């Protein structure tokens, strides 16, 4: 038996939270100055191994190197476990080069293996459209290393939906039909093309169509870039006066997966785009306002930064949140638009902040309880195209959209 008076650790990587020298010494403080058998020394090494595992280092371990204890000094060698180069078996439609770049930036060769990184890698691979991913670990080519073993198989390449609801505005028709579809990995770049259509078929007075295309930005870090376009037509009668109009919107965006764990996901997104709005008012409006025509035209240029996510914070419950800051400019391109905007002070530059928070909690069996809050702050009166919608199924349900 030997009495350990001091423990020296070798091989401990610097900068690991909760695993500094003081943390390791604290874990073994109760074992010092006590007689120890060889089994007791192995138990001390196991305590350090368990400490590393609790802190997310999945393959780290502490070992007893060959040594002769002198003056009661015990040496424990830390083998943290580092990534070797990943092996990817790919039969899916995504390019292996794209998947390789995502893997190499998520679990870089030579870094310490952590649960957080492996979870992130598996989740990001699983988010690639049209791909099923499985991640396991195998022994690396060098001592003390482990290699991600990744299998990518084909997922759903094409899909779509069709639906009906009665949540429309009564002026354009409550009954609506919605249809859409998507195609995954057309270019093998983790890309997706989406088409979404909506028509208020009851009166055929509202139509909205949208196209969205996004792809992985080479695969690195899971970053996605995309572009979208949408077109809206509307027509309705109010007080026996006819109104109609249309809008064309385009945008570019970048999305970065900030946090990915088994319990939480947070995305950061940057948007830039323009909206071109055309409204045909009744002639009586032009006469009353002294405008030269009844067609209103506006162009809105805007940029937005948003943070959105969800957290499984309670058993059976999920909390969602989102914050979006937007700045832009409303360019008034017709007399009647300038007249209306001057009365409402809604033209020119603007800034707004939109926020939302909700929680869905399973109560019993198929029943759940949902609660949420959302709102908007602005630096001045906003153009109607930028205002927060108070009504509808996702807001104050007693009021129409």
User: Which DSSP string do the residues of 330-362 spell out, in sequence order?
Assistant: EEE-SHHHHHHHHHHT--EEEEEEEEEEEEEEE
Cβ 60 vs Cβ 112: under 8 Å: yes
Helix/strand/coil for 102: helix
Task: Give the per-residue pLDDT at 132.
Answer: 96
Residue 113 CA to residue 52 CA, distance in Å, equals: 11
Q: Quick check: 15 pLDDT over 70?
A: yes
- Please tell me which residue, 359 or 287, carries the higher pLDDT value: 359
Does the predicted model carry a pTM greater than 0.85?
A: yes
Lowest mean pLDDT among 38-42, 59-63, 71-75, 333-337: 333-337
Mean per-residue pLDDT of the chain: 91
Question: What φ, ψ does residue 241 adopt, rounded to 5°?
Answer: -110, 140
Helix/strand/coil for 262: coil
Q: Widest CA span of the chain, in angstroms?
A: 104
Mean pLDDT of 214-243: 90
Mean pLDDT of 7-12: 93
Residue 306 CA to residue 270 CA, distance in Å, equals: 7
Residue 195 CA to residue 197 CA, distance in Å, equals: 7
Question: For the chain, which domains are there?
Answer: 2-79 (3.10.20.310), 82-154 (3.10.20.310), 158-386 (2.40.160.50)
Cβ 265 vs Cβ 259: under 8 Å: yes
Cβ 152 vs Cβ 382: under 8 Å: no
Which residues in 344-382 are b (16+ Cβ under 10 Å) and which e? Answer: eebbeebebebebebbeeeeeeeeeeeeeeeebeeeeeb
Lowest mean pLDDT among 56-65, 139-148, 215-224, 283-292: 283-292
Residues with Cβ within 8 Å of residue 261, at least 6 apart in sequence: 116, 119, 120, 123
pLDDT band at 288 (very low <50, low <70, confident <90, very high): low
- As given in the structure block, the two tokens for residue 351 are 């800034």
Residue 25 CA to residue 32 CA, distance in Å, equals: 10
Residue 185 CA to residue 212 CA, distance in Å, equals: 14
Cβ 159 vs Cβ 134: under 8 Å: no
Task: Give the per-residue pLDDT at 69.
Answer: 86
Among residues 389, 392, 299, 383, the alpha carbon closest in space to that of 343 is found at 383
Cβ 356 vs Cβ 319: under 8 Å: no
């Amino acid at each position: 038996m030997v009495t350990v008076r001091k423990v020296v650790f070798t091989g401990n990587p610097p900068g690991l939270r909760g695993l500094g020298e003081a943390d390791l010494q604290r874990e073994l403080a109760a074992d010092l100055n006590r007689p120890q058998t060889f089994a007791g020394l192995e138990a001390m090494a196991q305590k350090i191994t368990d400490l590393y595992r609790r802190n997310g280092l999945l393959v780290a371990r502490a070992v007893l190197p060959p040594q002769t204890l002198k003056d009661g000094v015990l040496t424990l060698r830390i083998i943290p476990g580092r990534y070797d180069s990943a092996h990817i078996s790919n039969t899916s439609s995504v390019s292996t080069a794209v998947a390789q770049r995502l893997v190499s930036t998520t679990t870089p060769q030579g870094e310490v293996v952590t649960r957080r990184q492996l979870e992130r890698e598996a989740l990001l691979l699983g988010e690639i459209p049209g791909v099923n991913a499985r991640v396991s670990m195998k022994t690396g080519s060098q001592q003390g290393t482990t290699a991600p073993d990744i299998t990518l198989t084909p997922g759903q390449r094409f899909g779509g939906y069709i639906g009906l609801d009665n949540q429309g505005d009564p002026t354009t028709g409550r009954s609506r039909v919605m249809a859409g579809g998507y195609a995954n990995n057309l270019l093998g770049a983790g890309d997706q093309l989406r088409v979404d259509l909506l028509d208020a078929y009851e009166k055929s007075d509202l139509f909205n169509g949208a196209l969205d295309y996004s792809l992985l930005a080479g695969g690195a870090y899971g970053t996605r870039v995309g572009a979208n376009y949408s077109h809206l037509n509307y027509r309705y009668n109010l007080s026996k006066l006819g109104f109609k109009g249309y809008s064309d919107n385009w945008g570019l965006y970048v999305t970065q997966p900030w946090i990915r764990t088994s319990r939480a996901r947070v995305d950061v997104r940057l948007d830039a785009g323009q909206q071109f709005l055309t409204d045909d008012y009744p002639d009586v409006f032009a006469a009353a306002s002294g405008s030269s025509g009844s067609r209103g035209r506006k162009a809105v240029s805007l940029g937005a930064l948003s943070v959105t996510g969800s957290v499984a914070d309670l058993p059976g419950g999920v909390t969602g949140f989102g914050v979006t800051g937007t700045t832009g400019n409303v360019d008034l391109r017709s007399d009647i638009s300038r007249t209306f905007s001057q009365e409402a002070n809604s033209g020119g530059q603007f800034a707004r902040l939109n926020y939302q928070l909700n929680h869905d909690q399973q109560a019993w069996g198929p029943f759940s309880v949902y609660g949420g809050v959302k709102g908007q702050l602005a630096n001045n009166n906003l153009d109607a195209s930028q205002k927060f919608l108070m009504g509808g199924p996702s807001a104050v349900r007693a009021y129409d959209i």
